[in-house]
Structure 1
Amino acid sequence: MPPKKSAASAASNFIAVLGTDEALMKEAAIRLSRELSPPDAGDFGVDIIEGIAESAEHCAQIVRRSLDALQTLPFFGGGKLVWLKNANFLADSQVGKTNAATEGMETILDYVEQQLPPEVKFLLSASAVDKRRSAYKRIQKLADLRTFDKPDTSKTGWEDEVIPLVERRARDLGITFDNDAIEMLVHLAGEDTRQLDSEVEKLSLFLGERTRVTVEDVRLLVPLNRAGVIFELGNAMGKRDLRRALELVRTLVYQGQSPIGILLAAIVPRVKSMLLAADLVARHPRLPRTAYPAFAAALDKLPASETSHLPKKKDGSGLNVYPVFLALGESSKYTAAELRAALQACLDANLKLVTTSIDPQLVLERFLVGMLSKPGQRKAA
């Protein structure tokens, strides 16, 4: 029997690739499988076990096959790779809740922790993982863990995690994006890496001899989904385009979107960003406004008392001011008093939506008329 291994030494030949971003996770797992496969070992040096279990019985079979592969040394000596690929029984699912799944994974981890031979490398890949389970905590402890999770789009600042991926892919293709264009693309394609890659490639082909993507290019080629309509509603507010804003609200309501959701997801964030932008410009008129890195760097140099009210990244590592940067130009179309009144009107609209029987669409339309109409137009509106 091979000697027992400590958790620290197990990590050197146990690699786990996990994450909800399935495209990135699978790409990383394939790349690692090539790197970890013993040279010139052929089929004898690599064991791949498909980990998609359709039932508890099937899960038990996958566990047995994985253990057999881990315990079987290479026939001709040398190293060996065992890859448990796309395991779905780590998830909070019907199959994942069975004893075959929970106890089976613990059995695999017991073997990896105590008996995995140094010449055998174990690669585990999975997308959906229940992080409440002891198995996940043991994987964190035992494995060289690589995580590829999609950003949580319900959290402020999720775009900051996606935009660098788009920029990297664009550089690979020799193109660049206008600030507004890349923001629009991210809101249209969301956090789906595969769709983002596809849309960037499509834009690259469309450009021909041009190398810079504009908002018009994105609007022409990328489908306008629910997120896109919400994003366009924010743009219409920024441009103070009442007619377009009313059209988009009616589109969202027609699509079955919740009016309170429209208010909280599209309207309130835009009003807040413009108000913050107007306040920053008024107090610090020399702030850079043409490039986001310079803008963010200038804010970092300000005293904490000047930036404590600005949104933070979800990990607390710094300011999340990209939406504020994008709102710098938009805020100039309003006075500070108008933006403060608009934020108060958001609260009033929220109360009407949840406490009265007034038609929700009418509440939103009245809000937009009050905010976007120029002072001389409001009486007529």
Structure 2
Amino acid sequence: APPPGLALILSAAIPAGSKAKFYSDLQKHARSVEFAAIEALDAPGWLMERASAVHGLELQTEAARALVAALGTSLGVLISELEKLAAFVQERRAITLEDVRAVSGSIPRADRWQWFDLVGERRLEEALRQLPVLLDSGESGVGLVMGMTSQLLRVALVCAGGQGALEKELKPYQRWLARRIAPQARRWTLPEVEAALHELLRTDRLLKSASLTDRQAMEELLLRLQMLAPLRGAA
């Protein structure tokens, strides 16, 4: 028998799809704590907080997003890059997108967060021009529709209850989004958001059942969203 007070701490990731009895026995007879990987939407906020807490620096939103878009969500990699950036800016108190470009190298020509902001700001012609870049980088039509839906639901919350209503619904590392969504919400009415959500549902069904390509379906969606503009004047 093990001596009193002895504890074995095992750090491991269960392989995807594994049915090994070892892991099920561990879960039954030991105390386990799961530390899930950080989500992509949480990563920029986490980086901004770490830059402030550890380095006393302001990591600008665009810079944080660019880092995650370029490097992914591995915290070890992001921490290492943040340390390089902190050394690079020296006496300056802010890390900008240009600093990220200088230190981290290749940054995607278009990233999904910036593109969703274009939709939220109703800059739909620009979103249409950038669509091929996103699709060529590996984004799918279904994934973009899901992201647009999340963006417009946040816009709807601000339209209905103000910035505070959205902040209450966001997770801690996502609350910085409220400051970006609030100005976007001023470009929408609730009936317009509802109509846009119906269009997104329609496109989601087309992507899953019709013979349209992702680009064709998404281009049609953006054009149909542009046609919602007269709703404001007609209301």
TM-score, normalization by structure 2: 0.74
Deviations 1:209-261 (A, max 9, x none): 321234554466554459x6222211222333334312332123223443222
Gaps in structure 1 of 5+ consecutive residues: 21-89, 103-129, 289-294, 300-309, 377-381
2:130 to 245, 248, 253: 248
2:9 to 6, 16, 24: 16
Cα pair distance change 1:256/1:165, threshold 3 Å: closer
Quote the Cα distance in structure 2 between the aligned partners of 1:234 and 1:188. 17
Gaps in structure 2 of 5+ consecutive residues: 231-235
Quote the Cα distance in structure 1 between the aligned partners of 2:16 and 2:153. 37
Deviations 1:292-333 (A, max 9, x none): xxx84xx4xxxxxxxxxx56x6xxxx9975544531122122
Aligned to 1:134: 25
CA apart distance, 1:175: 1.0
Deviations 1:46-87 (A, max 9, x none): xxxxxxxxxxxxxxxxxxxxxxxxxxxxxxxxxxxxxxxxxx
Q: Which has the higher strand share?
A: 1
Quote the Cα distance in structure 1 between the aligned partners of 2:9 and 2:60. 37
1:371 counterpart letter in structure 2: L
Quote the Cα distance in structure 2 between the aligned partners of 1:256 and 1:183. 17
Q: In structure 2, the residue corresponding to 1:18 is in which secondary structure? A: coil
CA apart distance, 1:334: 2.4
| Correspondence list, 1:1-381, <5 A | 4-5=1-2, 9=4, 12-18=5-11, 91=15, 97=20, 102=22, 130=23, 133-140=24-31, 148-151=35-38, 159=42, 163-164=45-46, 166-179=48-61, 181-215=63-97, 217-218=99-100, 223-224=106-107, 229-264=111-146, 266-281=147-162, 287=164, 296=167, 299=168, 310=169, 323-372=177-226, 375=229
Q: In structure 1, the residue corresponding to 2:205 is in which secondary structure? A: helix
Deviations 1:192-219 (A, max 9, x none): 1122113312332342432123455446
Quote the Cα distance in structure 2 between the aligned partners of 1:375 and 1:92. 46
Q: Which has the higher helix share?
A: 2
Cα pair distance change 1:191/1:342, threshold 3 Å: same
Identity of aligned residues (%): 20
Task: Tell me, yes or no, if the aligned pair for 2:69 and 2:107 is still in contact at 8 Å.
Answer: no
Quote the Cα distance in structure 1 between the aligned partners of 2:217 and 2:156. 22
Quote the Cα distance in structure 1 between the aligned partners of 2:226 and 2:207. 20
Cα pair distance change 1:339/1:215, threshold 3 Å: farther
1:239 counterpart letter in structure 2: E
Aligned to 1:59: none
Cα pair distance change 1:346/1:256, threshold 3 Å: same
- What is the root-mean-square deviation of aligned Cα atoms in Å? 3.8
Quote the Cα distance in structure 2 between the aligned partners of 1:217 and 1:368. 33
Quote the Cα distance in structure 1 between the aligned partners of 2:102 and 2:187. 26
Quote the Cα distance in structure 1 between the aligned partners of 2:70 and 2:89. 19
